[in-house]
């Protein structure tokens, strides 16, 4: 069955020009995360503080709900998660546990992405994929597993990728090696691989992490940054001294808004 979603529609007075698909973290829900998103605000002194939906009235914000999945380490227990892990502090331990859920979740997110692209007249470049924590990890693997059929007008990639407090499952490999971990794409020909690579390389990315994050160490965010750069992605990296395992507010919100204006709402519209 398709994943359920929570949404924030565009402002009634604005046309729908873009969509951001935003994935929640492990143990969270789409409903809770949607509410938290509305509480992240800038520090504007000239007007009431605004959240990202206020700043971008033509955007439809989509918050998918992950499946409730069993925990291998705690038999009988189930939580909301995009994929299972044995030890969140060490993703490399029994990392094979991540494959099944990650494969299923990426496939489900691709369905949501395809629907949003259709709503926007086939403009893949007007869809941004975002995620926090485990949602960020899932967003990265969704991007690198986009097939050639999902290319937008002119062969561009997504409008952007945003990862907050994220992790990088299966780090260290090439783009081809990392893509083939999930085995979602059938194309083994060099031409197919080159076209799939171009989808990734044409997608700019924003990666943010707080140095005092005690659930996903800042080294995890740096690994996301380094992996994407190795794949040929234009990455904007923002590291904050405080903020914990969350999206930094207000500075991180202001940086996100600035990045969206520079990379999505200017050059990619």
Question: How far is it, in rounded angstroms, from Cα 105 to Cα 109?
Answer: 6
| CB-based contacts of 192, cutoff 8 Å, min separation 6 | 148, 185
- Give residue 147's pLDDT: 72
Q: For the chain, give the secondary structure using H, E and C.
A: CCCCEEEECCCCCCCCCEEEEEECCCCCCHHHHHHHHHHCCCCCCCCCCCCHHHHCCCEEEEEECCCEEECCCCCCCEEECCCCCCCCCCCCCCCCHHHHHHHHHHHHHHHHHHHHHHHCCCCHHHEEEEEECHHHHHHHHHHHCCCHHHCCHHHCCCCEEEEECCCCCCCCCCHHHHHCCCCCCCCCCHHHHHHHHHHHHCCCEEEEEECCCCCCCHHHHHHHHHHHHHCCCCEEEEEECCCCCCCCCCHHHHHHHHHHHHHCCCCCC
Closest CA to 111 of 68, 69, 145: 145
User: What architecture (CATH level 2) is domain 5-263?
Assistant: 3-Layer(aba) Sandwich (3.40)
Low-confidence ranges of the chain (pLDDT < 70): 44-46, 148-155, 186-192, 267-269
Report whether 200 contacts 231 (CB < 8 A).
yes
Closest CA to 24 of 35, 13, 40, 15: 35
Q: How distant is the alpha carbon of residue 5 from its chain centre?
A: 15
Question: How far is it, in rounded angstroms, from Cα 237 to Cα 253?
Answer: 14
- Give residue 269's pLDDT: 38
Report whether 262 contacts 232 (CB < 8 A).
no
The position carrying tokens 């395992």 is 245
For the chain, the average pLDDT equals: 91
Report whether 4 contacts 65 (CB < 8 A).
yes
228-247 pLDDT per residue, tens: 999 999 999 999 999 999 99
Domain ranges of the chain: 5-263
- Give residue 88's pLDDT: 79
Report whether 59 contacts 17 (CB < 8 A).
yes
């Amino acid at each position: 069955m398709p994943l359920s979603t929570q949404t924030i529609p565009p402002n009634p007075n604005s046309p729908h020009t873009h969509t951001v698909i935003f994935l929640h973290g492990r143990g969270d829900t789409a409903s809770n995360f949607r509410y938290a998103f509305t509480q992240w605000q800038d520090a504007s002194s000239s007007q009431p503080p605004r959240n990202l939906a206020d700043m971008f009235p033509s955007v439809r914000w989509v918050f998918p709900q992950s499946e409730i999945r069993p925990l291998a380490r705690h038999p009988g227990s189930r939580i909301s998660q995009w994929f299972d892990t044995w030890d969140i502090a060490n993703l490399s331990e029994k990392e094979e546990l991540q494959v099944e859920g990650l494969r299923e979740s990426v496939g489900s997110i691709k369905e949501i992405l395809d629907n949003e692209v259709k709503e926007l007249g086939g403009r893949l470049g007007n869809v941004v994929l975002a995620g926090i924590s485990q949602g960020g990890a899932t967003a990265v693997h969704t991007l690198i597993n986009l097939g050639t059929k999902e290319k937008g007008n002119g062969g561009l990639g997504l409008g952007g990728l945003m990862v907050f407090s994220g992790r990088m499952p299966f780090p260290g490999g090439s783009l081809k090696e990392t893509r083939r971990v999930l085995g979602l794409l059938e194309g083994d020909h060099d031409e197919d691989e080159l076209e799939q690579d171009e989808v990734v390389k044409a997608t700019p990315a924003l990666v943010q992490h707080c140095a005092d994050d005690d659930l996903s160490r800042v080294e995890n965010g740096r690994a996301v940054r380094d992996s994407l750069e190795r794949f040929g992605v234009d990455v904007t990296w923002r590291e904050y001294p405080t903020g914990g395992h969350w999206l930094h507010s207000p500075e991180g919100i202001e940086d996100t808004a600035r990045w969206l204006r520079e990379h999505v709402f200017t050059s990619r519209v």
